[in-house]
Structure 1
């Protein structure tokens, strides 16, 4: 801290909110001082309460908010409180330094091992942190505290919350109880299992084993789902998910019919989830699906149609995950696709993923419904798969990775051109029209492809010791126009995966920071190996953001995120043959 500076706290009220302004000053107005600390707290000054609104608290340069779920052990009462940390910085502080200062200040403030147990301790800790030289960029911090009414409070998150502000510390679980009937729950599980396995056929015994439900109930619900045309019974009593798509001609084949060389698809789109493929297929015209079912081994589904002037083939991987059998299956399916359609020049991996949150950096923060496009880093890598994490003597993690680099940069160039056009003309957004058209085509499906309500996009931070707090999405810097509400924003960066990092919050953020990872998905390393092994030099990954881990945790945003990714992929494909990009 600069010489002779004091850290001065001034409380005030504005409406229902209490403001605690903490700033560095060189000279004190002794008429306002209520207390000057000494001893180990020397340099801390408390002013009397200000009775007028402080104009210096307008328009902070950076803001970070969080929600506290309070539990009073004496009364058993619950309360929800909004807390905001607003930052002002010294002149000429770079934006990166602003972001880093705010994030580190907040992380230290909420450390579970020394979290203050009362309001006085909380404010004192804020003041002590302002004395620390590592936060010297911060000139002023305003702590805004406001208790929320039942109507204003957000729904409580699942999991474990620790809050100790002004009340006795208490761990309180906010887990939601599933109050649906057993039939409703089992029915949903049957559909999810068949959708995950699609296009593979599952026998009833396997369905019963996977979902662990009564045999009689499973048989009953399968018949009901068959009557509703949601599942289809195959030979030997196996079942497969039935696709509701009146726009697509469906042909059952034992092997793919021969396609003339000049009619072969030149673009392949690979998805992993059932609704991802529906979203992709909604982008195509004049399409036909070829279903090749096998009772033993892997079945295949290929949908062939047009996007613009390009003939496209789409397929769905039968299973995706970190277990070995799933990885082998995804690689085999990709190899079979590229072996069957040998004229494919460009490959897109399209679907959902988990976004990487940046709690203070508005520019890097990826929100639900946004789209991340794989962009090569300075080492020409666009996908990092972590196989193992080791530690050095100092405890610092070292990531043992495998990575992939497309040899043909054409898709990178197209993406950059689209980004530049949208930057100079925000009205240039053809993907928005494609999303609207796709949503209309998919209106008859079992799930809604509409954008979920904004209040369902909630952000949490792991603060250690299995404790989680809810935080506010970062605000745009002063003078920066926010992204258009209700439509996806687009981000460019690498994609990451690997069990060691996906399962750990701290390692995931460290990994993301080192390799500029903007999204994590669920293990596509075997798919990428197959693409490169088949000498396909042009490929790109397009991911709609469905959650903040790996895209496979929460179902609510998956259909919309998949539709957003598919719509941008359509924009990319049409731009491949349209350098002027005026045919939208």
Structure 2
């Protein structure tokens, strides 16, 4: 590891695979479990190849100063160089895996020393295709308050259209009021208001207490059964058409003649539809 540059608000560090020819008082040599790791004490650019990085990733973190309780946003850039024999596709895959392991939430280092050490250990023991990594740590802005998460304070408004959309997306399976409330981050009371309106309009119906499904228009030959009946061999389906949205299901229905629909309703609230 070599310190490469430092300004009032940024630090650049290079971690690379190099053969150490001499060892003098300007380096720290790791021992024990850190054997093989060498840290240069002084900032230097001697012997460092100055070529453009082959891949670059950037992410941001928020730091808290334990003494001042200030919150600082910091940009962290990772620049990758790989062995010459590694193809581009493998370079991208390796950089992505490197980044995912580095920022894994449960193992993300909480301080600078731990962050740099983790990168060195990852290069030493796992990512042998990476020849060097340059890390630039740059402080962006300081605040007295912690950062807000995107959409943290914005609760999506529940509407009748959204309730109907949830019911249609579950069709032919029914959906409970509780499940709709969870999906919408709302209360069951709010959902039930729209359920009442949709039921009065004839757009939905209850299959069980608190459990609703879409009313399919112009589908007169629909049979709700607990067990699928035996279908004659000459009526066995030969193809299957799978749709992702309710509107697509209606479009497919318009192209099918002499259709016969069975909906199997079980006590656990699951439906199976067969055309």
- The two structures have a TM-score, normalised by structure 1, of 0.32
Deviations 1:54-75 (A, max 9, x none): 852x242x44444323344444
Q: How many residues align?
A: 248
Deviations 1:92-149 (A, max 9, x none): 235676467546655664577876543245335434554x254443221111334456
Deviations 1:508-566 (A, max 9, x none): xxxxxxxxxxxxxxxxxxxxxxxxxxxxxxxxxxxxxxxxxxxxxxxxxxxxxxxxxxx
Residue matched to 2:152:
176
Q: Structure 1 residue 195 and structure 2 residue 142: aligned?
A: no
Residue of 126, 130, 133 corresponding to 1:141: 133
Contact 2:58–2:75 (Cα < 8 Å) also in 1: yes
How far apart in 1 are the matches of 2:138 and 2:250? 46
How far apart in 2 are the matches of 1:196 and 1:83? 41
How far apart in 1 are the matches of 2:208 and 2:18? 81
How far apart in 2 are the matches of 1:122 and 1:104? 16
- 2:85 counterpart SS class: coil
Residue matched to 1:252:
220
Residue of 39, 61, 64 corresponding to 1:68: 61
| C-alpha deviation, 1:10, in angstroms | 1.7
Residue matched to 2:246:
278
Q: Structure 1 residue 123 and structure 2 residue 116: aligned?
A: yes
How far apart in 2 are the matches of 1:196 and 1:129? 44
Residue matched to 1:11:
5
Residue of 174, 177, 197 corresponding to 1:224: 197
- CA change 1:149–1:267 in 2 (3 A) is farther
Contact 2:11–2:137 (Cα < 8 Å) also in 1: yes
- CA change 1:19–1:12 in 2 (3 A) is same
How far apart in 2 are the matches of 1:122 and 1:235? 55
How far apart in 1 are the matches of 2:252 and 2:128? 55
- CA change 1:19–1:188 in 2 (3 A) is farther
- 1:221 counterpart SS class: helix
- CA change 1:96–1:207 in 2 (3 A) is closer
Residue matched to 2:40:
45
- CA change 1:222–1:49 in 2 (3 A) is same
| C-alpha deviation, 1:35, in angstroms | 3.7
How far apart in 2 are the matches of 1:49 and 1:266? 73
Larger Rg: 2
- CA change 1:279–1:47 in 2 (3 A) is farther
Consecutive unaligned residues of structure 1, counting only runs of 5 or more, are 1-6, 158-174, 244-248, 256-263, 299-317, 319-323, 341-584
Contact 1:231–1:239 (Cα < 8 Å) also in 2: no
| C-alpha deviation, 1:280, in angstroms | 3.7
How far apart in 2 are the matches of 1:266 and 1:8? 67
How far apart in 2 are the matches of 1:118 and 1:49? 24
Contact 1:252–1:292 (Cα < 8 Å) also in 2: no
Residues 157-172 of structure 1 correspond to what in structure 2 (within 5 A)?
Answer: none
Contact 2:53–2:80 (Cα < 8 Å) also in 1: no
- 1:48 counterpart SS class: coil
Residues 22-61 of structure 1 correspond to what in structure 2 (within 5 A)?
Answer: 22-26=15-19, 35-38=26-29, 40=31, 43-48=38-43, 55-56=50-51, 58-60=52-54
Consecutive unaligned residues of structure 2, counting only runs of 5 or more, are 182-186, 224-235
How far apart in 2 are the matches of 1:250 and 1:8? 74
Contact 2:28–2:38 (Cα < 8 Å) also in 1: yes
Give the superposed CA RMSD: 5.5
- CA change 1:26–1:279 in 2 (3 A) is farther
How far apart in 2 are the matches of 1:233 and 1:251? 14
Residue of 200, 203, 213 corresponding to 2:188: 213
- CA change 1:93–1:265 in 2 (3 A) is same
Residues 517-556 of structure 1 correspond to what in structure 2 (within 5 A)?
Answer: none
- The two structures have a TM-score, normalised by structure 2, of 0.57
